[in-house]
Amino acid sequence: MYFNSLSDFINMGGHGLYVWSSYALTLVLLLSSVLLPWLNLKRTRKQLSRQLAREAARTK
C-alpha cells in the first residue's frame, strides 16, 4: 500500500476529487456497457420466443 492511512488514500494529496470522480464515472460507464447489452439480450430472447409462441398458436 502506497498510502499511510485511509484518509490519505481518500484525499490523494489534494487530488482526491479529480481521481475519484474520474474513476467513479469510468466504472459506471464500463458497468453499464455490459449490463445494458445483457438486459437487452435477455429481453430480445423473451420477445422473440413470445412472438414465436403467438405464431404457433395462430397456425394451430
Partner 1 sequence: MWNWLKTLYHRLGSPKWFYQITGKWLPWFAMSSLLLLGLGLVLGLAYAPMDYQQGNSFRIMYIHVPAAFLAQSVYMMMAAAGVVLLVWKMKMADVVAQALAPIGAIMTFISLVTGAIWGMPTWGTWWMWDARLTSMLILFFLYLGVMALREALSPQEVAAKACALLAIVGVINIPIIKYSVDWWYTLHQPASIKLTEKPAMPASMYLPLLFMVLGFYALLGWSVLLRARAEVLRREAKSGWVRELLKDK
10 binds partner 1 (CB under 8 A): no
How many C-beta atoms surround the C-beta of residue 11 within 10 A?
15
Q: Are 10 and 16 in contact (CB under 8 A)?
A: yes
29 binds partner 1 (CB under 8 A): yes
Q: Of 19, 20, 13, whose CA–CA distance to 4 is shortest?
A: 13
Residue 55 cell numbers, joined: 405464431
# of chain residues touching partner 1 (CB under 8 A): 31
Nearest approach, Cβ of residue 38 and partner 1 (Å)? 5
Contact with partner 1 (CB under 8 A): which of 4, 7, 12, 58? 12
Contact with partner 1 (CB under 8 A): which of 4, 5, 7, 15? 15
